[in-house]
Structures are given as C-alpha cells and as structure tokens.
Amino acid sequence: MYQADIQATTTYLKELLERSTTSQGLEWLTQKMELVSSEKAKPKDFYLSFSAAPRFIGKENLHLTQQELQMADMIRSGFNPSHWSAAQAARTLLLLSLPHQDGESFFSQIETLFNTADMRELVALYAALPLLPHPELFRKRAAEGFRTNMGDVFEAVALDNPYPADYMEMDAWNNMVLKTLFVGKPLFRIYGIEKRRNAKLARILSDYAHERWAAGRTVSPELWRPVAPFIDEAILNDIKKLFTQPNELEQQAAALACAESNNPSAKELLNSHPQLKELVEEGEIAWNKIGEKNLELQ
C-alpha cells in the first residue's frame, strides 16, 4: 500500500519548503494540512487549499543540493524533485495529509481533482504519483497523463518520475517511451529506462526510426538505448546505418548498442570500429552523456 514512508516524505518536503517560502506561507500550509487530515474536514477544505496553495506559498523553484537529491532517492527510489516548484511541494504535502485508510475514497477525492485541474495542478498531481499510498489505483490515471498534449504535464508524469517504471503495464510503458521521443523530450530523464527494456519496444522503435528516415528526417541517438539488448538481424541493419551517419552522437549510439548486445554480428560490427570501441570501454561514451549532448544540440 505504501511506496514511501509518508512521515519521512512530509518532513523532507517541509524542510525543502522552509527555504522557498515565507514563514506565513508555512504557517498557512501547516494549518491546512492539519485541517485536511482531521476527521471533521469536508472535501471542499481539501480542494480549496490545494488550488490556493500558490497564493500563500509562491511559485519559486525549489533549489536542491546534491545531498538533498540523494535524500529524495533514499525516501523513494527514483524520487527526484529537482524540477519542482514550492507550490508543487505544498500541493504534494496536502495530498499526503489526506486520510488514506479507505483507499477508494482517497482515490476518488484525488480523481475529482484530476478531472478539474488546471495545468499547474496537473503537473503537481502527476509528479506526486510515486509518493502516494495505494499506487496501484492510479495506473489508468497515469496512462491518461501519457495521452496529454500539454508538454509540462507530459513531462511531469514521464520524466524524472519512478511511478511509470514501477507500475505501468508493458504496453502503456512502451507507448510512453515512444511518445517521449515523438514530442522531442530526452529519454535519459525517464526513470528505469534500462530496467524496462523489452523486445516489443525495440521493434516499435526500429519501425519508428524507419518512418523518420523514409521522410528524410533525423532520428534521436537516444532512440537506440532501449533497443540495444534486442539487436537481431533486422535491427543490425539499422545499427550499420547509424555508423555511417554524419552525426557523431549517432555513431556513438551505434557503438554503445553493439557493446550492450549479445548478438555475435553486433560484436563483430563493433570490432570494425576500434576507436569507438575503445571509447565505450573507457566509459567515455554513455547513454546519459549522449542524451545530454543531444539535448544541448536541440
């Protein structure tokens, strides 16, 4: 029922907020959290404070130290609030204050919020998914988040968020990865991208690359990251093509994909590019680096 210890999460987020809001803001929030968690709370108490949060807390970005980021990961593996705002943290604290013993009523109150949320509220709600109790109830909702066309909202659910890797079914997960590429967002910010690689996804991504090539368009070098362990005879031709691309990052991706494959032909192919092979072995070429550099080029 729990993904993260609620008490520990609450303490952590409140400490972060102390730097990004005023003491009046914190006081307001503490009061509202108490109200929301109490027996006498009405649904409207929760709804009003959830949407009013930015008025009292402000919208500043949280500035996390490296150590605080590590703490987040200890509280919930993959939890990464580095792109969060103060209001977002406050909204998450309110969500965590809701009584949750009755999973269905907890879920239905949050669903009501989702159904009437504005853009920033949606961002807060989706990014909070990995911290909420009863995570299994939110699978359909997360899939809805993948379908959005609002960029910030899609990012909140797909990037720096461990919920999809931990809870989504394969097809929904595959869809999310494909869409991330489709809307030009970085793959390296998807949590668990390695862990959730699968043969079907590899096939879908290869097809997508063919589509792009046929239309005379470029293909993100990150596309090959989930494909690597599933190189077969068909995909091998894609990798060969990659080695001939003018974009250096694509050549690097080709080398890395071969290195991660058990396919003998892929090994052979890598041997014929000794310079790249050496860079891979030295750790100079890595998926995160490729992703970051590719992002810089955009």
Partner 1 sequence: MNTHNLMLIDPHIHMTSRTTDDYERMRQAGIVAIIEPAFWLGQPRTEAGSFKDYFSSLVGWERFRASQFGIKHYCTIGLNSKEANNEPLAEQVMELLPLFVCKEGVVGVGEIGYDDQTPTEDKYFRAQLELAKEVNMPVQVHTPHRDKKAGTIKSMEVCLEHGIAPDMVVIDHNNEETVKDVLDRGFWAAFTIYPNSKMGNERMVEIVKKYGSERIIVNSSADWGVSDPLSVPKTASLMLERGISIEDVRKTCYQNALDSFGKSGQMHESDWLQSTSVDQREKFSDNSVLRGGQTPVVGEINTTGEPGSNIVR
**Residue 55 or 200 having the CB closest to partner 1:** 55
The yes or no reply on residue 78 touching partner 1 (CB under 8 A) is: no
Q: State how far Cα 220 lies from the chain centre.
A: 18
The yes or no reply on residue 182 touching partner 1 (CB under 8 A) is: no
Query: What mask, x for binding partner 1 by CB under 8 A, covers residues 131 to 170?
Result: -----------------xxx--------------------
**Residue 51 or 245 having the CB closest to partner 1:** 51
Angle subtended at Cα 281 by Cα 277 and Cα 284, rounded to the nearest 5 degrees: 95
Which of 40, 44, 195, 217 forms a contact with partner 1 (CB under 8 A)? Answer: 44
**Residue 23 or 244 having the CB closest to partner 1:** 23
Q: Minimum Å distance from CB 47 to partner 1?
A: 4
Which segment (41-49, 134-142, 206-214, 227-235) binds partner 1 by CB under 8 A?
Answer: 41-49
Q: Tell me the C-alpha distance between 258 and 236, whole Å.
A: 9
Q: Minimum Å distance from CB 31 to partner 1?
A: 14
**Residue 113 or 143 having the CB closest to partner 1:** 113
Q: Tell me the C-alpha distance between 10 and 53, whole Å.
A: 16
Adjacent-strand bridge partners of 85:
61
Angle subtended at Cα 58 by Cα 54 and Cα 62, rounded to the nearest 5 degrees: 110
Contacts of 29 (CB under 8 A, 6+ apart): 17, 21, 53, 56, 57, 90, 93, 94
Which of 6, 35, 37, 51 forms a contact with partner 1 (CB under 8 A)? Answer: 51
Which of 25, 54, 162, 226 forms a contact with partner 1 (CB under 8 A)? Answer: 54
**Residue 116 or 272 having the CB closest to partner 1:** 116
Query: What mask, x for binding partner 1 by CB under 8 A, covers residues 95 to 124?
Result: -----------------xx-xx-xxxx---
**Residue 20 or 80 having the CB closest to partner 1:** 20
Contacts 24+ apart (CB under 8 A), 244-253: 247/218, 247/221, 249/221, 249/290, 249/293, 249/294, 249/297, 250/219, 250/221, 251/276, 252/221, 252/276, 252/279, 252/285, 252/290, 253/221, 253/222, 253/223, 253/224, 253/225, 253/290
Question: How many residues line the site for partner 1 (CB under 8 A)?
Answer: 20
The yes or no reply on residue 47 touching partner 1 (CB under 8 A) is: yes
Adjacent-strand bridge partners of 61:
85
The yes or no reply on residue 55 touching partner 1 (CB under 8 A) is: yes
Residue 234, Cβ density class (10 Å: 0-12 exposed, 13-18 middle, ≥19 buried): exposed
Residue type, position 83, single letter: H
Write out the residues near partner 1 by the rule CB under 8 A.
43-44, 47-49, 51-52, 54-55, 112-113, 115-116, 118-121, 148-150
